[in-house]
Structure 1
Amino acid sequence: MDKQVQKPDHREYTIKIIPHQGETVRSIRLPIRMIKYGIVSITVGIVLFIGAFGYSTYSLHLAGSEQAEITELRQVNSIQQSQILQLAKKASTLQDDIDKLNQMEAEIRRISSINDGTDSNPGAGGTHDGQGGPLIQPNIQNLSDTLDAIEKNIAIRKQSLEDLKEKISVQQEVIAVTPSIWPATGDVSSPYGLRWGGTDFHPGIDIANDAGTPIVATADGIVTAAGWNSGGYGNMVDIDHGNGLMTRYGHAQRVVVTTGQQVKRGQVIAYMGSTGFSTGPHVHYEVRVNGKPVNPSSYL
């Protein structure tokens, strides 16, 4: 069967242009093929225009969104940087407080004569103040490292202060039971040792004042004697401070404690008088170590 051959379309369309006022009529002959090509071209142009317009609109919208996002990111970054700077200032203040705490601890150790063999803050409190180094803006990483170091330093200081507190507590307990204050106010009328031209050994010191002047315990302890002593001390008080330490207070006018009573350093135990072997109102004060009298001046 023979295929039919399609014949070319030779149709034409005529467009007449009729002007006003009797001018010449113009005719334009357009082949059907040209009209088809024109319609296709116009259609393609419209499609391309619409596509180009849509792409431009999308691009503008996308650019606007990106710009808004960039602006927002800049704002967020600015806020974060501001927060980082504020946190860095707080961290710096905290570090300064730790340095002051270190100096305070060192001063407490110096005053209390407690030293753990290490310097908690070497070089602190000096007169030199030279500083230097590169200028680096605080950021998340170096701020995090600084805070970690501060946290570790706080833990070390906390443990160090706990140890210091325990040592001071022990020291205070030792001080409390060590005769270290004057038993009464007044004048030393007779020192420890030989007196009266070497004819008498004085096992304590005499502190003279008006009768009725308070006499106090020079350390914590337990009263082992309270009352009259026939060996020349008159009204007398003995206090046992433990560790072989004992103090004696003689020639009192009146004793206000009893045997077995627990007393504290500075507590009134008697009132000054002139009982026993005495030439006038005073307190005879002794410090004994394992029963042997020692010079009380070394404890005052």
Structure 2
Amino acid sequence: MSPAHQYKRLENEVVNGLQKWLRQRWQSLAAFCKRVYQKGRQRFTVMFIPHSEKRIFNFQISVFTLIFVISLMGLVLAGFIVLATHFTGTNERYVRIARNLNASETSLESFKDEIIELRKVAKDFKARMEEVLSVVGTEDAANYLEKGVGGELTTLVSLEELDEGNLRDLSELRSLRSYLDNSVAPLSEIHKLLQAQRALLVDIPSLWPLKGARGNITNDFGFSRNPFTGGAYVHKGIDIAWGYGTPIVATANGKVLRTGEDSLGLGRFVVLRHDYGFHTRYGHLDRWVVQLGQEVRRGQVIGYMGNSGLSTGPHLHYEVGIGTNVVDPKQFLSIRSPLIESK
């Protein structure tokens, strides 16, 4: 027999064997399904027998129906369990959210209270700082503060920003409030110290005696030559020449000690007495505009430059004395301080 016939024969045997196996499996499956169907069609009788003489109630139910009912009840029970579990989890989440919201509201109220206190302290701090800057002589102290980093202190934190979530850490706010609060007292002490220093400086004759003009110093303090006799003498002050009628001001706070006229000396003059043993003399005036015993303030006009007395032209003779001694006025006129320069 040729190989082709052998191969054909083998192929037929394999196909027949496979068909036979499939028929057997199909027959087995059909028999199984038939048995299941027959079992499922079997009926059970359920009877309800009352203890009274009432009629007995009964009904029949197939295995298929029973399985369906049990499966349906199982699915319903499983659905209830799933829903109950989901509801429990959701309820717990809602409880956590509500708890977090309550905590956030409490924290928000704490922030608002802390910020209100911070703004109060910042306002007090700013007021103290303005007092210090005003004594130092900074022009427009409020604007000076607002030019600092962050702007005005009282608007450091806006309450409206709280609802936008732009909150700073509460501990940082408390720390800042404590820092500002602790800074108020030292600033007040600095303000008192500066005020005391200013009170001292305004009583020392350090202001230039000509108002609105610098003038020219034509004769210094000390040994000099008399322009009329040519002899040497001790010049007790300095001579400042400028235009006739230039306003002359008090160089420190004081009181008018003397006014008068010496035709052979200083001409019309004014003498002021100051604290700490100082006195100042203003000579060769055209006229004075103060009265004996009058209180005068630093920078107040007391007279006008003239050419009275022994004078070679319009000028001011200015003297500074301490006790019974006269000193060089220029050592006090060189005093400069922002505490008094802007006043």
Q: TM-score, normalised by structure 1?
A: 0.61
In structure 2, the residue matched to 1:187 is 216
2:325 is equivalent to residue 292 of structure 1: yes
In structure 1, the residue matched to 2:272 is 239
- Is residue 250–residue 297 contact of structure 2 (8 Å, CA) maintained in 1? yes
* Whole-Å separation in 2 of the counterparts to 1:188 and 1:180: 16
In structure 2, the residue matched to 1:169 is 195
In structure 2, the residue matched to 1:258 is 291
* Whole-Å separation in 2 of the counterparts to 1:214 and 1:201: 27
Deviations 1:147-198 (A, max 9, x none): 3322221122111110111111111111211111111231111010111288
- Is residue 263–residue 308 contact of structure 2 (8 Å, CA) maintained in 1? no
2:183 is equivalent to residue 157 of structure 1: yes
* Whole-Å separation in 1 of the counterparts to 2:42 and 2:269: 153
In structure 1, the residue matched to 2:252 is 219
Instruction: Tell which deviates more after alignment, 197-206 or 272-281.
Output: 197-206
Secondary structure of the 1:278 match is coil
Secondary structure of the 1:276 match is coil
C-alpha displacement at 1:56, in angstroms? Answer: 4.0
C-alpha displacement at 1:263, in angstroms? Answer: 0.8
* Whole-Å separation in 2 of the counterparts to 1:29 and 1:232: 151
Which residue, 306, 312, 315 being the options, matches 1:282?
315
C-alpha displacement at 1:253, in angstroms? Answer: 1.1
Q: Count matched residues.
A: 227
* CA pair 31-255 structure 1, distance change in 2 beyond 3 A: closer
- Is residue 256–residue 293 contact of structure 2 (8 Å, CA) maintained in 1? yes
- Is residue 221–residue 328 contact of structure 2 (8 Å, CA) maintained in 1? yes
Secondary structure of the 1:243 match is helix
Q: Kindly, what percent of the aligned residue pairs are identical?
A: 33
Name the larger-Rg structure.
Answer: 2
C-alpha displacement at 1:282, in angstroms? Answer: 0.8
- Is residue 267–residue 284 contact of structure 2 (8 Å, CA) maintained in 1? yes
In structure 1, the residue matched to 2:86 is 60
- Is residue 226–residue 258 contact of structure 1 (8 Å, CA) maintained in 2? yes
Paired residue type of 2:217: V
* Whole-Å separation in 1 of the counterparts to 2:222 and 2:278: 19
* Whole-Å separation in 2 of the counterparts to 1:194 and 1:286: 14
Q: TM-score, normalised by structure 2?
A: 0.54
* Whole-Å separation in 1 of the counterparts to 2:297 and 2:312: 30
* Whole-Å separation in 2 of the counterparts to 1:60 and 1:156: 55
* CA pair 72-280 structure 1, distance change in 2 beyond 3 A: same
Secondary structure of the 2:265 match is coil
* CA pair 51-287 structure 1, distance change in 2 beyond 3 A: same
In structure 1, the residue matched to 2:53 is none
* Whole-Å separation in 1 of the counterparts to 2:97 and 2:332: 77
C-alpha displacement at 1:269, in angstroms? Answer: 0.8
* Whole-Å separation in 1 of the counterparts to 2:178 and 2:46: 94
- Is residue 227–residue 255 contact of structure 1 (8 Å, CA) maintained in 2? no
* CA pair 53-182 structure 1, distance change in 2 beyond 3 A: closer
Matches within 5 A, 1:1-300: 54-69=80-95, 76=101, 143-184=169-210, 185=213, 186-196=215-225, 199-229=232-262, 232-300=265-333
C-alpha displacement at 1:219, in angstroms? Answer: 0.9
* CA pair 53-175 structure 1, distance change in 2 beyond 3 A: same
- Is residue 221–residue 239 contact of structure 1 (8 Å, CA) maintained in 2? yes
C-alpha displacement at 1:73, in angstroms? Answer: 6.7
CA RMSD, aligned part only? 4.5
Paired residue type of 1:283: L
* CA pair 149-28 structure 1, distance change in 2 beyond 3 A: closer
